Amino acid sequence: MALEFWPSSETVCFSKRQTVYLYLDWDMFLLAGVLGRMKMISRIFFRLIPLAFALLGFGSVPGASAQETMVVQPFAGSAYVAQFYLDFDQMTVLEGDRETFSERTLEGEVRGVVLIKPEGKGNLEILRSFETALTDAGFSILFSDKVSSRGDAIRAAVGDIHDRNGLVDRPFENIGDGSLSGSNIDQIRLFPEFYLSASITRDGQETVFVLNLSSERDHYLMEEVTIAAMEENTVVINEEMLNRQIEEAGSAVLYGIEFDTGTSVIRPSSTYSLQVVADVLRSRTGNYYIVGHTDDTGAFDFNMALSQKRAASVIAALTRDYSIDPGRLQPGGVGPMAPVASNDNDAGRQLNRRVELVRRLEQ
């Protein structure tokens, strides 16, 4: 078996407010195998490898050469203290806002780094710099706010997330000139001031970035999880399948329509399934509900709103890209209230996050 590699550089530079520069380099790997004869079997992943995150007028980040590759690089002038890397683990992140925040547990490659802020730089300035650079890079901000108020539910949620992520047990290794102590981790875990999470998806593979800024020390924590790629084409819908389900049950699950985490943005990998749904609608008469479903993680109100928005996004795609009459379709969202599997495990939650086509009686 041979592994063939074609580098492709797409460099993006960010300088809004002359605060932060971010460079991203996208590498594409293709897997080729020999099964009697050589043939290409699939693309297996598309991974971000950033080159630098630099502040105007400053030099490189001390200790950067020792760091495991992170998608997002630190605020320039920061000093590396310690890092960890896990091929596969779980990581829970916050999404939403202070009033309707929710939690989501992701699985995949997890990595993180503890750093010391540059002298004279405050947490708010660092937070705003990351917000600007991440947004300009195409990331979706999932959560960004102050979380330091004592007795606040959001502060308790951040502490709980650190505990469930096993922060104190992460396999940190000292790098640069610093040395990580248990008290440093406790200060980050027990005294959070700002929390930011952001997500980006490229070629169907999502990376979620988290920034934790402490109110008590100059140390801060950056974490990332790149979600393990799902095997492609494990469930493929077709016209016959959908028509049979509609005739037998009055509804059909639209497998393959996927969204960026915590949003109603339809992923490009959904194109095939949307085409099949459009073909089915053209071949049938009558009107239909498009119904969004979520799993049961996170806040109820957030999930209800999200499921409604996702249903509306599917209708928008069908009418805009496939010329389906919008008058035939009605969006609806039921959030976590109609599960088809247990929400106690990732496999069940994945099945519960779905969109359905439901036949509507003539009025």
Q: What is the CATH number of the domain that holds 294?
A: 3.30.1330.60
* 208 and 258 share one domain: no
Residue 19 has pLDDT above 80, yes or no: no
What is the band of 59 on the pLDDT scale with cuts at 50, 70, 90? Answer: very low
Tell me how many domains the chain contains.
2
Q: Is 219 helix (H, G, I), strand (E, B) or coil?
A: strand
pLDDT for residue 26: 33
Q: In this predicted model, what pLDDT tens digit does every residue of 66-84 receive, in sequence order? A: 444 688 888 988 888 889 9
Q: In this predicted model, what pLDDT tens digit does every residue of 251-271 receive, in sequence order? A: 999 988 989 888 999 988 888
* 220 and 282 share one domain: no
* 221 and 259 share one domain: no
Residue 111 has pLDDT above 50, yes or no: yes
Tell me if 33 is assigned to some domain: no
Q: Taking residues 296-301, what's their average pLDDT?
A: 92
* 182 and 286 share one domain: no
* 268 and 352 share one domain: yes
Q: Domain of residue 279: give its range.
A: 239-360
Q: Which residue has better confidence, 282 or 237?
A: 282
Q: Which of 349, 355, 348 is nearest to 310 (CA)?
A: 355
Of 182, 198, 227, the one marking the end of a domain is 227
pLDDT for residue 229: 53
Q: In this predicted model, what pLDDT tens digit does every residue of 122-156 receive, in sequence order? A: 999 999 999 999 998 889 999 999 887 666 788 88
Beta-carbon contacts of 277 under 8 Å, excluding residues fewer than 6 positions away, are 237, 242, 254, 257, 314, 318, 357
Question: Please, what is the average pLDDT of the chain?
Answer: 77
Tokens of 81: 């203290």
What is the band of 228 on the pLDDT scale with cuts at 50, 70, 90? Answer: low
Q: Where are the beta strands (DSSP E) in the chain?
A: 2-7, 21-35, 37-54, 79-95, 102-116, 140-146, 173-174, 192-202, 205-214, 219-227, 251-253, 287-293, 329-333, 354-360
Q: Which residue has better confidence, 3 or 247?
A: 247
Of 227, 262, 280, the one marking the end of a domain is 227
Q: Which of 187, 186, 147, 193 is nearest to 169 (CA)?
A: 186
pLDDT for residue 177: 65
